[in-house]
Chain A
Amino acid sequence: MHADLRDRAEFLLVYVREAHPSDCNWPDNDVALKEPTTIEERAAAAKLCVEKLKFTMPAAVDGMDDATSLAYTAWPERIYIVGTDGKIAYRTGLGPFGFKPKDARAALERLLEK
């Protein structure tokens, strides 16, 4: 979505607390990453994520108080689209089941057509 539409929309990855860190009882089987305990550790995890997954979109780190993911009810994963008026134009459901990037892309394309 970012690769195809970055010339027509702004994108921001907001890196939030881990969903399945290695030090939990249900860790991610592919990524051995402990739950960050400082903002520096969370930023390092975000850098690793961006590098490994080859993301090219701008990225920022949620604070250790999780204030932004709290405000958006966005943990563990979610996509929001904000209109040029600053109002929410679309949101996916919460992850894992409601996280549907294809639906978000369709919503963004509809918004861009207006």
Chain B
Amino acid sequence: MTALLILMTILCQDGKSREAACLGMRFRDLTADERKAAGLESGGAKILATVGGAAKAGLRKDDVIAAVAGKPFKHADDLIRTLYMSKWDAIDVVRDGKRETVKLTLKDLDAGPGAGDASPDFTLKSLDGRTEVALAKLIGKRPLVLIFGSYT
């Protein structure tokens, strides 16, 4: 983890806007104009997409994350570290020009089915698009390992 954080820090030191994905959110550094429009002197991150706990907790695409529990952050990399490594109970966002506080915790963002919960049903397409892959047909005889991810 340390090596990854060092790499992330290096990536953020070249002055370019950076994008990051964690905890059901994808976000990027604000541009200077966006920062000014949000009323921030520094930092801030724009949410590009939310899924899972972040979406359920009320965070939305185009929200500007201004601070975590009132504490500002320098850039997207700093936001990741703040979310993972500090104690917090709210995220301050600028939404439609107004500053709002969304009450949530790391646990909310990490929400999802846990041990003992029914596995959410799905029917997906195979890579060639020709067949359907249904959860119901995979469970029953042997444990099922679901690996979520992408190439990048």
Using a CB–CB cutoff of 8 Å, the interface residues on chain A facing chain B are: 1-2, 5, 8-22, 24-28, 31, 33, 39-40, 43, 45-50, 52-53, 57-63, 66-91, 93-99, 104, 108, 111-112
Contact = CB atoms under 8 A, between A and B. Distances in A.
6 contacts: A13-B149, A18-B150, A18-B151, A20-B19, A31-B151, A73-B113
A74 B150 contact: no
Nearest to A49: B151
B104 interface: no
Interface stretch (B66-74, B91-99, B115-123): B115-123
B51 A73 contact: yes
A87 B140 CA distance: 10
Interface string B98-138: 00000000000011111111111010111111000101001
Given A88-B119, A91-B113, A94-B24, A70 B148 contact: no
Given A77-B148, A89-B143, A97-B84, A50 B127 contact: yes
A104 to B, nearest CB: 7
Contacts of A1: 145
A74 B147 CA distance: 9
Given A25-B19, A83-B143, A71 B127 contact: no
B152 A10 contact: no
B31 to A, nearest CB: 10
Given A12-B146, A16-B150, A17-B150, 14 more contacts: A20-B21, A21-B152, A26-B20, A26-B28, A46-B127, A60-B133, A74-B52, A86-B118, A89-B143, A91-B112, A91-B115, A93-B110, A97-B22, A98-B110
Contact of B115 (A22, A90, A112): A90
